[in-house]
């Protein structure tokens, strides 16, 4: 895992400024503290911060072959197979990122079709003076691009473009509405004016400071539901899951996994235990708040059943208030998902023992696990409901102007998915794969883990697993009002102690209760923040924090608190100066 950035300037522009390149490198140091590298040729510059995972000795970047230069963030899991398929190529390193460079020399912009992994890649071809930017089809690894003075700039995180002075800190109001109502933002445009996401699966060909060509690979297999029975589906699924976990364990450094009380991470643990001789190292987070769902006990039982070494951490209210400014600061592309809290603390603990963790992200989207999928399957007269139909502030009237266009991005995605002719269930899954997964769950995982220089891997988000599971009949995904049916059947067979058919407990962070306990203290601080005062009535914000009586009130308060801290760091450019109260009090 690494951080990459670069400049693609026009022929009439000044050469890349060394000071700007240094700022890009420094701003991405947390993503790759093990080394830096750069290549500057004419008006093109590539920079790289390395987190050494595979090929610790010869894998430094940039990588060179012929007239091409590559920098990459991520892992190519099938690099051994790719090397074997190119017997005539002389490889200069043992890096997993060198095969993509030779594939690009052979296949051009279509090279990514051969890759199996998570990646954001930049390749500069010196003779043709082009730069190819590519992002993996699930959107596991981030990549951003901006039109800047003299041409284009790209980076693994928006903060690099901001802190290098390439883009001004200006908010796009439509994305702010999405953030407040949805907790994430949709599509290619970020919350920052002028900064765009390279979308999942996109390959951009850039030259002379402009994007010349775009092409995109979809993560999902084409076609309608397959005809397959349960036994055959289980056998195929077992092969696909084992192969994926095996590939995701390729590493030259220690690895572990994040274990919750759910079936996704239990599945990953079961397969890791099957494939490893030594005990798997599993990490679980829990909370000290009364009434909060605590998965540590069940996770410990599951870990013991497969002989794993289990480490659990308790996230306390004091820890959250102390570190929340740091946690929010790492979310430069903002995600107001309270799961950032346990994810950040888990990553901090895991980094003491490992450099790589596997996790269960993507299981719900691939296998049809969310309640909203089952609601989407029903016709409206039986309680059916369109996913993402309501916003957090619809019934919490504290904003100066009620958001009006916050669903435009989601509606555009819905229209695109509707054109594919899929079932209601698969349409809801495909919709989530387009925005919710890459722009909330995976973004959260990337930033919280990279804040501690730890790599997160997601075995469910794999070409082989998608091919084995996504086109299964709806009845093998949802049955008897329960999602992920086929995965539950697999886990029942392979690890029954995980209780795969037990009612879902759900994973919640007691942030609403914590805010309620500090509401009279937090309310005035949040209301006084410039970012919040711009969009909300201060007196109504204070009243909301002082009188939290429903879950939606607590969730709205959480989003306002998140936004206050985020705006302070990424729009005003101010670093955290202590705990949440000290930071919000600072002027």
Give the β-pairing of 356-358 and 455-457.
parallel
- pLDDT-derived band of residue 506, with 50, 70 and 90 as boundaries? low
Per residue in 399-430, pLDDT (tens digit) is 999 999 999 999 999 999 999 889 999 999 99
CB 44 within 8 A of CB 195: no
Per residue in 314-369, pLDDT (tens digit) is 999 999 999 999 999 999 999 999 999 999 999 999 999 999 999 999 999 999 99
CB 337 within 8 A of CB 445: no
- pLDDT-derived band of residue 289, with 50, 70 and 90 as boundaries? confident
Q: What is the pLDDT of residue 505?
A: 63
Per residue in 116-165, pLDDT (tens digit) is 999 999 999 999 899 999 999 999 999 999 999 999 999 999 999 999 99
Residues 124 and 41: their CA atoms lie apart, in Å, by 9
**All structural domains of the chain:** 2-216 (3.60.20.10), 230-316+323-370+442-498 (3.40.50.620), 511-585 (no CATH)
Q: Is the peptide bond before 62 cis (omega within 30 degrees of 0)?
A: yes
Percent of the chain with pLDDT over 70: 98
Mean pLDDT throughout 189-202? 98
CA distances 456 to 346, 359, 444, Å, are 11, 7, 11
Q: What is the pLDDT of residue 150?
A: 96
Q: Is 172 left (phi over 0), alpha (psi -120 to 50) or beta?
A: beta
CB 49 within 8 A of CB 26: no
For residue 192, the cross-strand partners are: 171
Mean pLDDT throughout 166-182? 97
- pLDDT-derived band of residue 290, with 50, 70 and 90 as boundaries? confident
Q: What is the pLDDT of residue 450?
A: 98
- pLDDT-derived band of residue 503, with 50, 70 and 90 as boundaries? confident
pLDDT at 169 over 80: yes
- E strands within 410-497? 455-457
Q: What is the pLDDT of residue 185?
A: 98
Residues 514 and 147: their CA atoms lie apart, in Å, by 42
CB 62 within 8 A of CB 46: yes
Nearest by Cα to 359 from 437, 248, 251: 248
The pTM assigned to this predicted structure is 0.97
pLDDT at 474 over 60: yes
- pLDDT-derived band of residue 55, with 50, 70 and 90 as boundaries? confident
- pLDDT-derived band of residue 87, with 50, 70 and 90 as boundaries? very high
Q: What average pLDDT does the chain have?
A: 95
Mean pLDDT throughout 470-490? 96
Q: What is the pLDDT of residue 438?
A: 98
- pLDDT-derived band of residue 380, with 50, 70 and 90 as boundaries? confident
Give the β-pairing of 68-76 and 2-9.
unpaired
- pLDDT-derived band of residue 559, with 50, 70 and 90 as boundaries? very high
Two structure tokens written together for 382 = 């039986």
Mean pLDDT throughout 206-232? 94
Q: What is the pLDDT of residue 507?
A: 57
Nearest by Cα to 285 from 298, 270, 274, 296: 296
Residues 65 and 359: their CA atoms lie apart, in Å, by 34
CB 185 within 8 A of CB 191: yes
Mean pLDDT throughout 200-212? 97
* Range with lowest mean pLDDT among 367-381, 438-452, 544-558: 367-381
- pLDDT-derived band of residue 7, with 50, 70 and 90 as boundaries? very high
Mean pLDDT throughout 476-493? 96
CB 264 within 8 A of CB 298: no
Residues 36 and 44: their CA atoms lie apart, in Å, by 17
Q: What is the pLDDT of residue 67?
A: 94
Nearest by Cα to 39 from 66, 73, 16: 16
Residues 387 and 411: their CA atoms lie apart, in Å, by 10
Q: Which residues of 301-340 are buried (b: 16+ CB within 10 A; e: fewer)?
A: ebbebbebebbbbebebeebbebbbbbbbbbbbbbbbbbb
Q: Residue 114 has what DSSP assignment?
A: G
CA distances 508 to 146, 291, 293, Å, are 36, 10, 6
> Nearest 5°: phi and psi at 476?
-95, -5
* Range with lowest mean pLDDT among 163-177, 290-304, 514-528: 290-304
Two structure tokens written together for 472 = 């299964």
Q: What is the pLDDT of residue 1?
A: 64
Mean pLDDT throughout 488-509? 88
Q: What is the pLDDT of residue 361?
A: 97
Two structure tokens written together for 31 = 């993503």
Burial label, 435 (beta-carbon count in 10 A; 0-12, 13-18, 19+): buried
Mean pLDDT throughout 249-257? 96
């Amino acid at each position: 895992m690494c951080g990459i950035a670069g400049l693609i300037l026009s022929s009439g522009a000044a050469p890349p400024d060394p000071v700007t390149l240094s700022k890009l490198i420094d701003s991405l140091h947390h993503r790759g503290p093990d080394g830096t590298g750069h290549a500057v040729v004419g008006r093109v510059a590539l920079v790289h911060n390395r987190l050494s995972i595979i090929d610790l000795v010869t894998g430094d970047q940039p990588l060179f072959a012929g007239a091409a230069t590559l920098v990459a963030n991520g892992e190519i899991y099938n690099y051994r197979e790719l090397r074997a398929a190119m017997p005539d190529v002389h490889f200069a390193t043992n890096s997993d990122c060198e095969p993509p460079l030779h594939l690009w020399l052979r296949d051009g912009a279509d090279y990514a079709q051969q890759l199996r992994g998570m990646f954001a890649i930049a390749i500069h071809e010196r003779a043709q003076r082009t730069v190819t930017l590519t992002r993996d089809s699930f959107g596991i690894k981030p990549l951003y691009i901006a039109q800047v003075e003299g041409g284009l700039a790209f980076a693994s995180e928006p903060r690099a473009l901001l802190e290098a002075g390439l883009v001004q800190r200006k908010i796009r109001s439509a994305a702010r509405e999405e953030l407040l109502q949805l907790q994430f933002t949709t599509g290619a445009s970020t919350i920052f004016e002028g900064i765009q996401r390279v979308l999942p699966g996109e390959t951009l060909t850039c030259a002379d400071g402009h994007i010349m060509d775009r092409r995109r690979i979809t993560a999902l297999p084409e076609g309608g539901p397959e005809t397959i029975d349960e036994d055959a589906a289980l056998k195929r699924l077992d092969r696909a899951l084992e192969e994926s976990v095996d590939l995701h364990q390729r590493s030259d450094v220690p690895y572990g996994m994040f274990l919750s009380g759910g079936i996704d991470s239990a599945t990953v643990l079961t397969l890791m235990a099957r494939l490893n001789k030594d005990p798997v190292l599993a990490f679980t987070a829990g909370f000290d708040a009364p009434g909060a769902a605590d998965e540590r006990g069940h996770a410990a039982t599951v870990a013991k059943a497969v002989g794993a070494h289990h480490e659990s951490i308790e996230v306390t209210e004091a820890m959250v208030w102390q570190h929340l400014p740091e946690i929010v600061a790492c979310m430069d592309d903002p995600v107001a998902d309270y799961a950032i809290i346990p994810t950040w603390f888990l990553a901090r603990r895991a980094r003491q023992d490992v450099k790589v963790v596997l996790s269960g992200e993507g299981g719900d989207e691939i296998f049809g696990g969310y309640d909203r999928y089952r609601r989407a399957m029903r016709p409206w007269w039986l309680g059916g409901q369109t996913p993402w139909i309501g916003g957090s502030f619809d019934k919490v009237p504290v904003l100066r102007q009620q958001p009006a266009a916050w669903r435009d991005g989601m509606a555009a995605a819905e229209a695109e998915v509707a054109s594919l002719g899929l079932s209601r269930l698969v349409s809801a899954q495909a919709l989530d794969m387009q925005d919710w997964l890459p722009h909330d769950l995976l973004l959260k995982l990337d930033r919280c883990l990279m804040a501690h220089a730890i790599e997160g891997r997601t075995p469910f988000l794999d070409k082989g697993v998608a091919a084995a599971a996504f086109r299964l009949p709806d009845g093998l995904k949802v049955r008897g009002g329960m999602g992920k049916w086929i995965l539950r059947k697999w886990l029942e067979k392979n690890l029954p102690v995980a209780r795969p058919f037990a009612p879902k407990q759900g994973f919640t962070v007691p942030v609403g209760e914590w805010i309620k306990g500090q509401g009279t203290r937090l309310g005035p601080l949040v209301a006084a923040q410039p970012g919040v005062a711009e969009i909300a009535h201060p007196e109504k914000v204070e009243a909301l924090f002082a009188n939290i009586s429903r879950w939606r009130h607590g969730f709205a308060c959480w989003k306002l608190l998140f936004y206050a801290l985020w705006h302070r760091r990424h729009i005003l450019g101010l670093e955290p100066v202590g705990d949440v109260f000290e930071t919000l009090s600072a002027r």
